[in-house]
Every structure is written in structure tokens, then in C-alpha cells.
Amino acid sequence: MFPWATTWWLYGGFVVFVLAMLALDLGVFHRQAHAVGFKESAIWSAVWVCLALVFNVLLYHYAEWRFAHDARLTALPGFDPQDAAQQTALEFLTGYLIEKSLAVDNIFVFVVVFNFFGVPAKYQHRVLFFGILGALVFRIIFITLGAALMQYHWVVIVFGVFLLLTGVKILIAGDKPLEPEKNPVIKLARKYLRVTPHLDGQRFFVRQGGLVQATPLFVALIFIEVSDIIFAVDSVPAIFAITKEPFIVFTSNVFAILGLRAMYFMLAGVVHKFVYLKYGLGLVLIFVGLKMVWLNQHFDGKFPIGWSLGIIASIIAVSIILSLLRKTPPPPAP
């Protein structure tokens, strides 16, 4: 319903908005390196969530207007522009919720990587800024490929089975600690790049002895970038299970990523308490996989989006509540 030929300006306008917000973020609010506290990160988290919700409202009104003035659509038997616009808004909201929930896994990675490289809190925002900037580029590539591949039913089934298996693996696999020193990405970076033994402020590269060398900050950035590519393999197909509109997949994905930095600084100190959230994410992936391989076929090709939103939101909410109700064992006696 949002063909590129007639809605290219929507994509272009959204990209300009995103670049303007990123420039404002780094060039104004975080021009000077500083540790982002809980209050600041909570405010930014609220800002990004509110922007996503405002965009969703605008998307609903634009979709209703567009559908009402599209002779091709209004000629379809039983087509209601208001119902179609509501469907569009719910698809965006559901996709946003899925991506936002799956992003919690990224936070675990950020915590481990920053501790491993000894990155001070005041430099972490810079790493995440450029990491998310790169993530946006790779997400565009993944979404473009997904939009082309999802036109084939067998690809939908393959992705659905993949999400099912991933969800089951999350449920049955034990907690494996992340060990950056054994990660092949870091090993390759240290093998083929000249890396300084210590940080040099917030710089990614320094010149020493006439040679340009990378700092550990840049290696941390590479690790975060590769981690996001791995996470995208789950998250992008999961959103395509909710909607086949590339514009909705793109915008919901981007809004969730833009709020990831603020969510990290807000939750980094307490994310270890959400012990049951990973099981909730596993159930979400299983549900989304079932939609792709089975449920959609039993609901005239489209499982009700309102039900999807309710099921996903309930799973995430219950896993968070159970995590918060779980009593933390007392620390061992000295």
C-alpha cells in the first residue's frame, strides 16, 4: 500500500528526520563527553517513545487519507479506508514493540563489551552513537532484501521455521556467559589492526610512531556492530511476520534502534534482574514463527493484528513482572 514510486518522499522525509535527530543528539546534547545518568537516559527514552507514538498517530491519519483517495483500493469490494489505516497503525505498533523487546539482548552485550574493554561511562555514548548509525545502514540492507524475498511463500516458511527454532533454543539453552576474549571478531580485529593497549580519550584512531593505530574503543565499536547484524537476523524476519509493508518495517525498526542508547543507560545497572525476559523473548519468537508457518493460513492469510499485539505485549509484560517479583538471593557471606 506504500509503493516506492509514489511514496519515495515519505522514505526521504523520514531519513532526513532521523539524520536531523542524530545530528542534534551528538552535535548539541552530547557534544561534550559525559556519563549519562539515569534521569537523563529516562528523559531521552521517554522522548523516543513519544516520538514513535506521535509518528504512529500521523501514520494513521495519512494512511486513512491516502487510502480514501486511492481509486485502486476503494474499488476493492468491502475495502474500508479507516479499517485499513487502523491495521497499518497496529502493524507499526506491534513491530515497534517486537524490536524494542528484542533490543534488550543488545543491552546485555553492551554491558559485557564495555566492561571488557574498560570503556568509561562518559565515552560509551559515542561508541553507541556510531554503532547505531552503522546499525541503521545494515538494517536498511536487511529490510530491502527481506522485502524482495518475502514475496516468495517458501521464503516465509523458511524464516518462520528459523524463528521457531531460535525461540525453542532460547527456552532450552542455559545461560552462556559472553566471553569477548574468545570472540573471533575481536581476535581478527586484533590480528589485522594495529590496536593500542590503552584508550586515548574518546578517539577511535591515534597516530603513534608515524602509524595510525586503532584504539580499544574502535574494537568495541566493531564488536557492537557485528552483534547488531546477528540480532537483525532474528528481528527483521520477526517484523516481516507482522507486516509485509517495507515502510512500516523500516520506520518501526528505526524508531526502536534510535531509542536503544537511552534504554541502555537507563537499564544497564538493573538489566541482570530481568532473568525471565529471555524466556519471554523466546516465546515471542515462537509465536511469530507459528504465525508465518501455520496461523496465517488459518485466518485467510493474515492472523488478526490486534490479537498479535495483545499476545506479544502480554508475554513481555508477564516475563518482566515475574522477573521483578523474583527474590534476589542474598550475597554470600564473607
For the chain, strand residue ranges (E) read: 205-208, 211-214
Q: How confident is residue 65, by pLDDT bands cut at 50, 70 and 90?
A: very high
Tell me the average pLDDT across 242-249. 91
Q: Stretch 297-302: mean pLDDT, rounded?
A: 76
- Per-residue confidence band for 27, with pLDDT thresholds at 50, 70 and 90: low
Helices 4-24 & 246-258 angle (0-180, nearest 10): 0
pLDDT at 317: 93
Among 311, 290, 286, 309, residue whose Cα is nearest residue 299: 290
Which of 35 and 330 is assigned the larger pLDDT? Answer: 35
**What pLDDT is attached to residue 329?**
55
Give 231 or 330, the one with higher predicted confidence. Answer: 231
pLDDT on residue 333 = 43
The C-alpha cell of 180 is what?
569477548
Mean pLDDT check: name the lowest of 23-37, 63-77, 132-146: 23-37
Distance, CA of 132 to CA of 67 (rounded, Å): 34
Q: For residues 239-264, give the mean pLDDT.
A: 90
Q: What is the pTM of this model?
A: 0.86
pLDDT of the residue at 224? 87
The model's pLDDT over 197-218, given as tens digits with 9 standing for 90+, comes to 888 888 899 988 788 899 989 9
pLDDT score of 37: 80
DSSP letter string, 208-231: ETTEEEE-HHHHHHHHHHHHHHHH
